[in-house]
């Protein structure tokens, strides 16, 4: 397992090259919080943008000035992908994560502005506290947004509903939602997907559209739009399924979400690791730090990423 990892317990800075920029993200190996680590899906997401930014909806001319909010941003990698393509990004997380997130945002923004001749295409990125479901936090960021993004934000079942309610509260009729997810638990994945399908038109990005190195069978990217009629925060928890009306979210060719049979084929139980909190190393000992990273199967594909 060691050799498969992107991070090590002593890793405090990840250097990540994306869209022609050499970014550096500080981590806090001593923190107990999940948000103080760069998670693999965030890099898969940023590299997906890089691969698809020459034409179509992700080219800088289309994205310039678009308002983006990143939920559960952690170290802020995915938001930087959007900001580098010209978007004005609000990168959000829980209060405990905000200081490190702010440090990463300030450091990389100043690096981009100082060192790169093509800084013109950079939009902006700012940091805000946003605890999912907190109405004051939601109001303070001034919704609706053009894009709502998040990577690796659903790792336990209890997160599905507050995240859904927050996404709905931040959305308008034209909002596009882009989420990345690494499958670690079939039950969390199933609940998440069923909830998304009830409220959104869900498209899964095919692997061929992802960067050839920054992808993994366990990592999925979703591009979604709210199904009209617009669902409000008040009725978001209703189990009733809204009317299914297709929306125009197809500029990047994406796959419709799959049948259960397809999913079985793509993500058979052998390809999944267990739910993060219950994961154990063979000798049964697992430090806090190890527990947080053990699920990152995708790290084996990302091991060439330079770590300083
Ligand atoms: C596994 S980390 C992923 C971090 C980052 N998106 C990445 O991919 O590197 C999950 C993130 O979700 C955030 N999160 C979890 N529950 C949250 C909540 N209720 N409100 C806001 N953020 C939350 C955590 O603080 C953490 O940053």
The model's confidence at residue 33, banded by pLDDT at 50, 70 and 90, is confident
**How far does residue 93's CA lie from ligand 1's centre (Å)?**
6
Dump pLDDT digits (tens) for 114-145.
Answer: 876 666 789 999 999 999 999 999 999 999 99
Q: Ligand 1 mean position to 295 CA, how many Å?
A: 15
- Is the whole-model pTM more than 0.85? no
Spell out the residues 6+ positions from residue 2 whose beta carbon is closer than 8 angstroms to its own: none
Tell whether ligand 1 has an atom less than 6 A from the beta carbon of residue 82: no
Residue of the nearest CA to atom 4 in ligand 1? 74
CB 70 within 8 A of CB 90: yes
**pLDDT grade, residue 10 (50/70/90)?**
low
Residue 30's pLDDT is: 79
Cα(176) to ligand 1 centroid in Å equals: 19
């Amino acid at each position: 397992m060691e050799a498969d990892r992107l991070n090590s317990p002593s890793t405090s800075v990840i250097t990540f090259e994306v869209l022609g920029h050499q970014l550096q993200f500080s981590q806090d190996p001593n923190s107990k919080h999940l948000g103080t680590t760069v998670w693999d899906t965030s890099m898969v997401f940023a590299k997906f943008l890089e691969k698809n930014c020459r034409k179509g909806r992700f080219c800088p001319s289309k994205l310039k000035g678009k308002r983006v909010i990143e939920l559960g941003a952690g170290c802020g990698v995915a938001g930087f992908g959007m900001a580098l393509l010209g978007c004005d990004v609000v990168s959000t997380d829980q209060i405990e994560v905000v200081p490190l997130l702010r440090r990463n945002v300030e450091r990389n923004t100043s690096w981009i502005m100082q060192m790169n001749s093509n800084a013109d295409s950079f939009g902006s990125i700012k940091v805000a506290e946003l605890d999912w479901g907190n109405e004051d936090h939601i109001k303070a960021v001034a919704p609706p947004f053009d894009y709502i993004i998040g990577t690796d934000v659903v790792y336990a079942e209890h997160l599905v509903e507050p995240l859904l309610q927050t996404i709905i509260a931040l959305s308008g009729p034209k909002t596009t939602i882009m989420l990345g997810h690494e499958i670690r638990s079939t039950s969390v994945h199933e609940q998440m997907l069923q909830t998304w399908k009830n409220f959104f038109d869900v498209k899964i990005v095919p692997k061929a559209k992802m960067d050839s190195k920054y992808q993994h069978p366990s990592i999925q990217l979703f591009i979604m739009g709210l199904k009209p009629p617009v669902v409000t925060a008040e009725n978001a928890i209703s189990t009733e399924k809204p009317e299914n009306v297709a929306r125009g979210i197809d500029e990047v060719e994406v796959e419709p979400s799959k049948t259960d049979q397809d999913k079985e084929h793509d993500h058979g139980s052998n390809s999944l690791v267990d739910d993060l909190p219950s994961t154990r190393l063979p000798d049964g000992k697992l430090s806090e730090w190890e527990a947080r990273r053990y699920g990152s199967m995708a790290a084996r594909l990302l091991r060439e990423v330079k770590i300083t």
